[in-house]
Structure 1
Amino acid sequence: MNSSARSRYIKIAGVLGFIILAFYFLSAGGTSSVTSVVPGTTKKNDGSCTRYVLMIDAGSSGSRIHVYRFNTCKSTPELEHEEFKMKKGGLSNYGDSPEEAAKSLDELMEVAVTTVPDNYKSCTPVAVKATAGLRLLGQAKSDAILAAVRTRLETKYPFPVVEGNGVSVMDGSDEGVYAWITTNYLLGKIGGPDKSPTAAVFDLGGASTQIVFEPTFPNLKGGGMPEILAPGDHHYDLTFGGRSFDLYQHSHLGYGLNEARKAVHKAVITAKFGEKQVDSSQPVLNPCIAPGMWREVNVDGVKINMTGPPHSAATLCRSFAESILHKDEDCKLAPCSFNGIHQPSLSKTFAREDVYIFSYFYDRTQPLGMPSSFTLEELKDLAAKVCEGEAGWKVFSSVKGALEELRDRPEHCLDLNFQLALLHTGYDMPLHREVKIAKKIKGNELGWCLGASLPLLEKNSGWKCRIREVGH
């Protein structure tokens, strides 16, 4: 797919020109004054300015609903409130039962039914975007599940379902770019008067990981640096809030945390048995399991007891994690990050700007007491301490819930070493580089959902009010 086919133009700055007041048949009498979240001004909510959007994130490890309320009476919509709920177990868990997959979203939709006022429901669009987990099921099963989900939403609930790709498996490039929009929108770096450099986003899911940033190419004569971002599938042209952005993006399918675990375990088995038949009758020492712990894993259909070594082997674990990145893969368009994928050098094109890492990056570090920003060197130290096992965990006793987290997760050593390998070896970030972890910004969840919801405030964005009422 060429670059122009991938271009997306999300023209939020012109949203007011597209909004037809007939969409709003509501009076302001039933609403109260609220404080705008983004940008940071306070404004009373007029009922004719209020819009709701429902976005369901059907991820590989669970599904989540975001109920957004916007104030659209400004050049850029202001996010006023968000309701969020998640449930464990993704749609991909129901590969052979599409109807059950659709029913699994009912508890999430009840949040929308309860949150959105009745007189707004018929003009509140709902979209379902599945991510990498459903892609791994194969197209036939994936299509059957998505069709069942659409049917249930259209027949059971009062909300208009976005047509076309409103219930679909989201392209990996869109997933990353929408997360980038969410982050920078909430930070006030896009969609407002601030023209400061944008932040990069690194999102680590269960089945895939995304990287999106806006590289700059200084004109260094004789230095061999390209003056612009090379064309290709990685190049994403974005227009947002009256500004244009040339973004680098890539979604690395198979390098989410759950898939990385499988790959590391398989690498350990291959190193031990080679081409020989795997002997599952005895435990296998795995340097990525903490000492004194064990975990039964399935490797190519064989159940194996992975047991931690007598002493910490964090360095060896990181070596296995680095091996699955395939840094030596043929690089057809230099420079490359890993697995032969082109990526501009972060140290040359994005050396000082903010880097936000979230999802599993956050989930594996914040519960252990890591601050909101830290260097990769500090992440390395954390991984080494976790890999010591119970004997080295006394330092975590002052962090509420940390010891329970570690004792319940034998693969925490693996998870942290993979994250370090991905950031340092895969993306070639120096150990002194600082990153920021976050689950929310200004009280709002990070991820791609908000960025994907903003375009649904435009006219002709693929949905219509189910009922038009006049005279209210």
Structure 2
Amino acid sequence: MRRSQPRPRTKTKPDKSNMDPVKFQIRSSNRSSSSSSSNSIYTLTKPNPKHTKSNLLLTVASTATALAFLFVFYSLLTPGSLRYSVVIDGGSTGTRIHVFGYRIESGKPVFEFKGANYASLKLHPGLSSFAGDPEGASVALRELVEFAKGRVPKGVWRETEVRLMATAGMRLLEGRAQEKILGVARRVLRGSGFLFRDEWASVISGSDEGVYAWVVANFALGSLGGDPVKTTGIVELGGASAQVTFVSRETVPAEFSRTVSFGNVSYNLYSHSFLHFGQNAAHEKLWGSLVSRDRNSAVEPTREGKHADPCAPKGYNLDTITQKHLTGFLAGESKLAASFEAVGNYSECRSAALTILQEGNDKCSYQHCSIGSTFTPKLQGRFLATENFFYTSKVLSSLINVFMLLMYVNSSGPTRKHHSAHAFTLRM
């Protein structure tokens, strides 16, 4: 079980000047939507203006789903006292637990996302990887529960709610496999010592994922409550799916339409989750398309008898890296990786990517479909790219820092190399 470094827990005094509770509502325009996402009122704390853009990206990527889940489900508790809630985010490549401390003010929970009021831990692989061995999920879940117990005072365990919300990785599994894993999760959480009900462990819709990320991002940016056209859209790239959510001026079909009310302002959103178009799942889809293309066109394999992957940089070891990082519902990709060689060709990669994006486009029954047969309005305004977009940009930024350092050292001459190397701090 691979473990990510938990967020540090430090004691800090709350800055009351930053406490500015606000409320918003989310409604689905589709009457068949579940009641959990309709007419819900949430309260947030005014964001700290000192937060950097990178912190915002990371916050949206790691906590949007968990925060929104808390805002939907909360108890009216004794005002003023510090309370806790625990949310487990079951992603496609890992399972992350979030521990939130909050206070009740005017009957609503007010969250402060810093210091002792927030902690998280992520374990790999994701819950969906246990489709063939549901009991295996209990090991990671118990470790996550123990992490939460170390952050929540024992005296309030029984009144601290714990909830589990699984996303695209689990949505890819058939219903029976989902229920077996959820059954194990419910058993572990029932015995956790925290307050739990079976219905609090579930698989959520991709549309909800997108709306949650949109709300968190726009609140943090300070655009909620203002002109809808000045809000920021979200393109969220997960491992198994990609969510697109933004304010659209077009008439959006009911199945893609969501309404968010913030104070006296209503935002009409387009929100959809493109399953199989997350970073890992899309690569698997790309490989399948390339294999099919090669077979149909009699394309010659590489010297090693492998298919060429134009979207992976030349020299990239697909087999080793895939085996290390991909598990569960993406296990098939590990097998495919051994059949490919990275060749790095931008024009061919773009062509191959467009092929899978336009697959099924001939069945589009809407005014326009950009991806397959799914309705997609024209993109409008600014967008924030989160999750795997953030992590990829972080890696590339680190590589650029290394490159710039080497260039500087090499151009400084032999007498300055030693001193120059110590003049840089690489943020990896």
Q: 1:295 aligns with which of 295, 304, 318?
A: 318
The equivalent residue for 2:15 is none
Distance apart, 1:97 and its partner CA: 2.1
Distance apart, 1:313 and its partner CA: 1.5
Q: 2:367 aligns with which of 334, 343, 347?
A: 334
Q: 2:46 aligns with which of 32, 38, 60?
A: 38
User: TM-score, normalization: structure 2?
Assistant: 0.69
Cα gap change, 1:111/1:395 in structure 2, threshold over 3 Å: closer, same or farther?
closer
More displaced stretch, 168-177 vs 66-75: 66-75
Answer yes or no: is the 8 Å Cα contact 1:289–1:306 preserved in 2.
no
Q: Which has the higher contact order (CA 8 A, sep 6+)?
A: 1
How far apart in 2 are the matches of 1:11 and 1:211? Answer: 22
1:368 aligns with 2:404: no
Q: 1:307 aligns with which of 341, 347, 355?
A: 341
The one-letter amino acid of 1:9's match is S
The one-letter amino acid of 2:237's match is L
Distance apart, 1:256 and its partner CA: 0.7
What secondary structure does 1:233 align onto? helix
The one-letter amino acid of 2:182's match is L
How far apart in 1 are the matches of 2:253 and 2:99? Answer: 36
Q: 2:167 aligns with which of 123, 131, 143?
A: 131
How far apart in 1 are the matches of 2:104 and 2:268? Answer: 27
The equivalent residue for 2:92 is 60
The equivalent residue for 1:50 is 82
What secondary structure does 2:255 align onto? coil
How far apart in 1 are the matches of 2:280 and 2:202? Answer: 22
Cα gap change, 1:119/1:188 in structure 2, threshold over 3 Å: closer, same or farther?
farther
Answer yes or no: is the 8 Å Cα contact 2:79–2:106 preserved in 1.
no
Cα gap change, 1:314/1:74 in structure 2, threshold over 3 Å: closer, same or farther?
farther
The equivalent residue for 1:317 is 349
Answer yes or no: is the 8 Å Cα contact 2:86–2:148 preserved in 1.
yes
Deviations 1:343-393 (A, max 9, x none): 2211xxx23xx31111111111122118xxxxxxxxxxxxxxxxxxxxxx8
Q: 1:11 aligns with which of 40, 61, 77?
A: 40
Q: 1:264-275 residue pairs with structure 2 within 5 A?
A: 264-274=286-296
Deviations 1:86-130 (A, max 9, x none): 111011111122222122112221221111122332222111111
Percent of pairs with identical residues: 28
Structure 2 unaligned segments of length 5 or more: list them. Answer: 1-27, 50-77, 323-331, 407-428
How far apart in 2 are the matches of 1:102 and 1:130? Answer: 15
How far apart in 2 are the matches of 1:300 and 1:103? Answer: 23
Cα gap change, 1:114/1:294 in structure 2, threshold over 3 Å: closer, same or farther?
closer
**Higher helix fraction: Structure 1 or Structure 2?**
2
Cα gap change, 1:277/1:142 in structure 2, threshold over 3 Å: closer, same or farther?
farther
Answer yes or no: is the 8 Å Cα contact 2:29–2:259 preserved in 1.
no
Answer yes or no: is the 8 Å Cα contact 1:146–1:167 preserved in 2.
yes
The equivalent residue for 2:196 is 161
Answer yes or no: is the 8 Å Cα contact 1:63–1:87 preserved in 2.
yes
Structure 1 unaligned segments of length 5 or more: list them. Answer: 16-35, 218-225, 371-392, 401-472
The equivalent residue for 2:208 is 174
Distance apart, 1:53 and its partner CA: 1.7
The equivalent residue for 2:233 is 200
How far apart in 2 are the matches of 1:230 and 1:282? Answer: 48
How far apart in 1 are the matches of 2:47 and 2:260? Answer: 20
The one-letter amino acid of 2:105's match is C
How far apart in 2 are the matches of 1:101 and 1:244? Answer: 41
User: TM-score, normalization: structure 1?
Assistant: 0.63
Answer yes or no: is the 8 Å Cα contact 2:235–2:245 preserved in 1.
yes
Deviations 1:303-361 (A, max 9, x none): 6442233xx51121121112110164332111322112112211xxx23xx31111111
How far apart in 1 are the matches of 2:41 and 2:163? Answer: 19
Cα gap change, 1:125/1:75 in structure 2, threshold over 3 Å: closer, same or farther?
closer
The one-letter amino acid of 1:306's match is F
How far apart in 1 are the matches of 2:175 and 2:204? Answer: 13
Q: Paired residues, what number?
A: 331
The one-letter amino acid of 1:257's match is Q
The one-letter amino acid of 1:198's match is T
RMSD: 3.3
Deviations 1:21-80 (A, max 9, x none): xxxxxxxxxxxxxxx963559xxxx97343322111111100001111223315764321
